[in-house]
């Protein structure tokens, strides 16, 4: 049942019950106590620590001249809920999860928080089943593209709010406006959703388990959506006739998308 998932992970489990637990959401566990061996929240705790360790090691190895403050920001951008959720979605991890009735309804569009938690639990299961080496290999494969995009000469590459503000001040002579859309969940596990506007135009949305994280995610979304057509619409609204380009692009790069 899990052969294709194990192939993606690059690890064949000896303790298959460990894999099943890593894929079991608490909603399924509490609805099926007689046949469920547990849920993934304890594994998520361990997976978070293993992920921090391996990515810290990778960042220090790749960027020997970058200071610890920048390395910490990069690591935070790699292990945040949004990034982990994207990686899990790319793996189609949602289809393997054991979900209760309430979560099953949203399986096709599973929440980033749920997917991120399951991915961390899965990483912990690989670590417990095979040790640090297979866990390190798994992380290396899953994060290879994102690690390769980091630029040691551009240490604020993942501070999306700063990048968006500097760009908007330079090109539109204004600053981004962040608006809270919603906050849902219990006090200890709230999910915040924010939108960001430039010159009154909505440019992106984001979510996170804190207001700051949600604003960063919204800024990241806005930077990714910036292209010539969008900028033209903003310029017209603000009365500017100039052509602007997103950070890191040139007039020859018509897509304007950040790399």
Task: Dump pLDDT digits (tens) for 138-162.
Answer: 999 999 988 888 876 555 555 788 7
**46 and 132 inside one domain:** yes
Given 149, 176, 201, the domain boundary residue is 149
Res 56: pLDDT: 96
Instruction: Please provide residue 120's backbone torsions phi and psi, each rounded to the nearest 5 degrees.
Output: -65, -40
Res 216: pLDDT: 87
Q: Mean pLDDT across the chain, nearest whole number?
A: 82
**63 and 12 inside one domain:** yes
Query: pTM of the prediction?
Result: 0.61
Q: Total domain count for the chain?
A: 2
CA distance 78 to 86: 11
- Does the pLDDT at position 237 exceed 60? no
- Does the pLDDT at position 128 exceed 90? yes
**8 and 94 inside one domain:** yes
Q: What is the DSSP string of 134-172?
A: HHHHHHHHHHHHHHHH--TT-TTTT-HHHHHHHHHHHHH
Looking at the domain assignment, is residue 141 inside a domain?
A: yes
**64 and 136 inside one domain:** yes
Domain CATH code at residue 232: 3.30.160.20
**139 and 164 inside one domain:** no
- Does the pLDDT at position 15 exceed 90? yes
Residue positions annotated with a catalytic role:
48, 120
**9 and 137 inside one domain:** yes
173: left (phi over 0), alpha (psi -120 to 50) or beta: left
Looking at the domain assignment, is residue 132 inside a domain?
A: yes
Res 62: pLDDT: 92
pLDDT-based confidence at residue 106 (cuts at 50, 70, 90): low
Domain CATH code at residue 119: 1.10.1520.10
Please enumerate in sequence order all residues whose Cβ is within 8 A of that of 26, keeping only pairs 6 or more positions apart, or say none. 39, 40, 41, 100
Report which listed range, 2-16, 104-118, 155-169, 176-190, is most confident.
2-16
Looking at the domain assignment, is residue 257 inside a domain?
A: no
**223 and 103 inside one domain:** no
Q: Percentage of the chain with pLDDT > 70?
A: 83
Distances (CA, A) of 236 to 90, 168, 201, 243: 37, 15, 11, 10
Section 171-182 average pLDDT: 90
- Does the pLDDT at position 229 exceed 50? no
**169 and 136 inside one domain:** no
Distances (CA, A) of 171 to 154, 163, 199, 231, 244: 20, 12, 11, 10, 6
**Residue 114's domain spans which residues?**
3-149
């Amino acid at each position: 049942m899990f052969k294709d998932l194990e192939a993606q992970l690059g690890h064949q489990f000896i303790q298959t019950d460990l894999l099943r637990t890593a894929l079991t959401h608490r909603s399924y566990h509490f609805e099926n106590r007689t046949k469920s061996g547990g849920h993934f929240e304890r594994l998520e705790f361990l997976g978070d620590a293993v992920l921090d360790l391996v990515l810290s090691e990778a960042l220090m190895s790749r960027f020997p001249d970058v200071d610890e403050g920048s390395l910490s920001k990069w690591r935070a951008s790699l292990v945040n809920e949004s990034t982990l959720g994207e990686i899990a979605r790319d793996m189609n991890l949602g289809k393997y999860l054991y979900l209760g009735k309430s979560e099953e309804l949203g399986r096709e569009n599973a929440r980033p928080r749920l997917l991120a938690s399951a991915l961390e639990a899965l990483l912990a299961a690989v670590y417990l089943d095979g040790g640090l080496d297979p866990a390190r290999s798994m992380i290396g494969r899953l994060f290879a593209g994102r690690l390769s995009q980091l630029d040691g000469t551009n240490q604020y590459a993942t501070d999306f709010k700063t990048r968006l503000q500097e760009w908007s001040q330079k090109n539109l002579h204004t600053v981004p406006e962040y608006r809270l859309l919603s906050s849902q969940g219990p006090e200890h596990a709230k999910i915040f959703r924010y939108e960001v506007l430039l010159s009154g135009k909505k440019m992106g949305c984001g979510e996170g388990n804190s207001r700051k994280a949600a604003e960063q995610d919204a800024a990241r979304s806005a930077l990714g959506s910036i292209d010539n057509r969008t900028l033209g619409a903003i310029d017209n609204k603000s009365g500017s006739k100039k052509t602007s380009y997103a950070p890191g692009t040139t007039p020859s790069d018509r897509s304007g998308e950040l790399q």
